[in-house]
Chains A and B, each alone.
Chain A
Amino acid sequence: MNRKTKEIFIKYIFFVFALVAIIVLAMIVFSLFREGLPIFRQVSVKDFLFGMEWYPTYDPPYFGIFPLIVGSFIVTIMATLIAVPLGVLAAIYISEIAPRVIKEILKSVIELLAGLPSVVLGFFGMVVIAPILQNVFDLPTGLNIVNASMILALMAIPTISSISEDALYAVPQEFKEASYALGATKFETIAKVILPAALSGVTTAVMLGMARAIGETMVVLMVAGGAAAIPESIFDSVRPMTASIAAEMGETPYRSLHYHALFATGMVLFFLTLTFNLIADHVSNKFKQTGSATL
């Protein structure tokens, strides 16, 4: 085998490896749709998406996932509200302010947080946070939106913080030098130069953090309470889509209406995370910092 054929050979091997991910994804999407679409022969898309009642095992069954969609969104949004300030500010501190030693410690601790299994966090929420919430606010239940959002925020912080930090780190040194040369303080430099320059990266980080939160299953299954109703306050229980799929899939008869409805719920989730990723991609491309000229 001469050098050239070897080169070509290697090229194709890598091509196959790259292809595996795409093929697997295509097969997953295909089976998701094949198992999910049949529900729409029985239930209209509108009744499915906007129906208020989720009683999949009753006779007649009701397959309205609107309370589940609301549940997913509300815990994701609340988690984002908690995680964004914490994650972004931590990233700013790590990348711009912290001395070297503290920076290294903080970075590895945050990475450690990302490595915690979600079932451990869920258990923590269930046996530690829930009773505290219940006693402090005198609530009927501690398994609620606030609890789930706090745990989800804890899971989104590493994503947000490490991607934001990369973005902040990538801001060219001459920006900072120019800012200091004009007499700006450190705070002014961070708030008016570095952060705006890294905005696309930070936004991407936030979107990916949200995608992580909306797709998370174990935590919401354990601490969101699981009530399939539109919440009236942030201390009510909700049943996000992922929790519903995880709890019910194991015991639903194969290819029953309920089974198809759960796959269709998976389709809705798929479209939601796809949207988040597309937005993140769009933002990071459109506002890409390509040089000092674009600021």
Chain B
Amino acid sequence: MLKMFKRVLCLATVFALLSTVSFASESVVFKGSTTVLPIIQEAVEAYMKANPNVRMSVSGGGSSEGIKGIIDSTTDIGMASRAIKKKESDLAKSKGVNPVEHVIAFDAIIPVVHPKNKVANLTIDQLSQIYQGNITNWKEVGGNDLKIVVISRDSSSGTFETWDHFVMKKTKVAQRAQMLASNGAVVTAVAKNRYSIAYIGIGYLNKNVKALSVNGVKGTAEAALSKEYPLARELYVYTNGEPKGETAKFIAFLKSKEGQKIVGKVGYVPMISLK
């Protein structure tokens, strides 16, 4: 029994070694925000199909991890859903690292309700109060006398992260809130429920749900790009210095029409018109 266990262990070690060796050939390491992750994952798949000899490894960890990876040079491309902080760029300078920022997409979150709901606009503060569980009836925000059913995304998702950043601002979502696992599930739930409110990435909007404007601004791709719409932000990747080699080619791919198509496909706002 013990002998067999040892053998299994040996085999595992060999495999582990083999995989590190193969990673050591030309490779690009990505790390960072889970909001940016879906874009990069899709883009990497497409890119590797076209360039099969390039090795790319992608992992999450959050924006801070991505920027940290750039600062300590363990990452080639750091993904971030926020700009680098003063503290971080100071730390980078002290280590002789020069983080360069590349905007690759926009992220816009749209609050949605059932199409029969007559509420058309909410302020960020109202949204926050609804999600904290302090406003519980639609009549308090100008709607019919109906209970509000709060639908949220799972707290580990990138969409939730954006919502938390703009609306909740670190206050807690009420425990009673339903937590659904995907944008698609949220749309289905809202389309079937006239009590509900939820939020989704702009790419998932369809006619089965009604988009609310926020602080009087309609959530459109144009309003997101001009930053007029309050629940929109830029998504970044960072590199150490101006990118070179495969890294530069990949970032160029991200910004190309093909790359921006992927951005739209995974539910974010492309930076260029695709028509």
Q: Interface on A for B, CB 8 Å cutoff?
A: 19, 23, 53-59, 67, 126-127, 130-131, 134, 140-143, 221-222, 225-229, 236-237, 239, 243, 246-248, 250-254, 258
Cα of A250 to Cα of B181 in the assembled complex, Å: 11
The listed residue with most A CB atoms (<10 A of its CB), out of B34, B59, B155, B189, is: B155
Contact A237 B178 (CB under 8 A): yes
Question: Given A23-B8, A248-B155, A254-B59, do A141 and B196 touch, yes or no (CB 8 Å)?
Answer: yes
Q: Are A247 and B170 in contact (CB under 8 A)?
A: no
List B contacts of A23 (CB < 8 A): 4-5, 8
Assess the B192–A221 pair: CB atoms within 8 A: no
- B180 at interface (Cβ–Cβ under 8 A)? yes
Q: List 27 A-B contacts (CB under 8 A).
A: A19-B1, A19-B4, A23-B5, A55-B155, A55-B172, A57-B156, A58-B155, A67-B175, A126-B185, A130-B189, A130-B192, A140-B193, A140-B195, A141-B149, A141-B196, A143-B178, A221-B181, A225-B178, A226-B178, A226-B180, A226-B181, A229-B175, A243-B181, A247-B156, A247-B179, A250-B156, A251-B156
For A59, list chain B residues within 8 Å (CB).
Answer: 170
Contact A134–B193 (Cβ < 8 Å): yes
Q: Which residues of B contact A251 (CB under 8 A)?
A: 34, 60, 154, 156-158
Rounded to whole angstroms, the CA-CA distance of A228 and B8 in the bound complex is 41
Contact with A along B117-135 (1 / 0, CB 8 A): 0000000000000000000
Interface residues as binary, B176-190 with A (CB distance below 8 Å gives 1, 0 otherwise)? 111111000100110
Instruction: Determine how close the nearest CB of chain B comes to the CB of A26; give it in whole angstroms.
Output: 9
Any chain A CB within 8 A of the CB of B147? yes
Residue positions of B touching A, CB distance < 8 A: 1, 4-5, 8, 34, 59-62, 65, 147, 149, 154-158, 160, 170, 172, 175-181, 185, 188-189, 192-193, 195-196
Find out whether the CB atom of B192 lies under 8 angstroms from the CB atom of A131: yes
CB pair A127 B154 closer than 8 Å: no
Nearest-CB residue, chain B, relative to A57: B155
Check B188–A248 contact: CB distance below 8 A.
no
Contact A253 B60, beta carbon cutoff 8 Å: yes
Q: Which residues of A contact B189 (CB under 8 A)?
A: 126, 130, 141, 143
A227 adjacent to B178 (CB under 8 Å): yes
The answer to whether A53 and B175 touch across the interface, beta carbons within 8 angstroms, is yes
Identify 17 new A-B residue pairs, CB closer than 8 A, beyond the known A59-B170, A237-B178. Answer: A54-B175, A56-B155, A126-B189, A127-B188, A140-B149, A140-B195, A141-B189, A141-B193, A142-B193, A143-B189, A226-B179, A227-B179, A248-B154, A251-B157, A253-B62, A253-B65, A254-B61
Q: Which residues of B contact A252 (CB under 8 A)?
A: 156
Q: Are A141 and B154 in contact (CB under 8 A)?
A: no
B176-A229 in contact (CB<8A): yes
Task: Closest A residue to B146 by CB, please name it.
Answer: A140
Tell me the nearest residue of chain A to B179, going by C-beta.
A226
Q: How far is the CA of A142 from the CA of B149 in the complex (A)?
A: 11
A126-B188, A134-B192, A141-B195 known; A246-B175 Cβ under 8 A: no
User: Are B156 and A248 touching (Cβ within 8 A)?
Assistant: yes
Check A228 against B179 for contact (C-beta < 8 Å): yes
B156 x A228 contact (CB < 8 A): no
CB contacts (< 8 Å) of B155 on chain A: these are: 55-58, 248
User: Given A141-B196, A253-B65, A227 and B181 touching (CB < 8 A)?
Assistant: no
Kindly state the separation between the CA atoms of A248 and B160 in the bound complex, as whole angstroms: 12
Contact of A140 with B147 at beta-carbon distance under 8 Å, contacts A226-B179, A239-B179 already known: yes
**Chain B residues positioned under 8 Å from A236 (CB to CB):** 176
Closest to A59 in B: B170
B181 is contacted by which of A127, A140, A246, A258 (Cβ under 8 Å)?
Answer: A246
Which chain A residues lie closer than 8 Å to B179 at the CB level?
A: 226-228, 239, 247
**Given A134-B192, A140-B195, A252-B156, A58 and B170 contact (CB-CB distance below 8 Å):** yes
Give CA–CA (A246, B185) in the complex, Å. Answer: 15
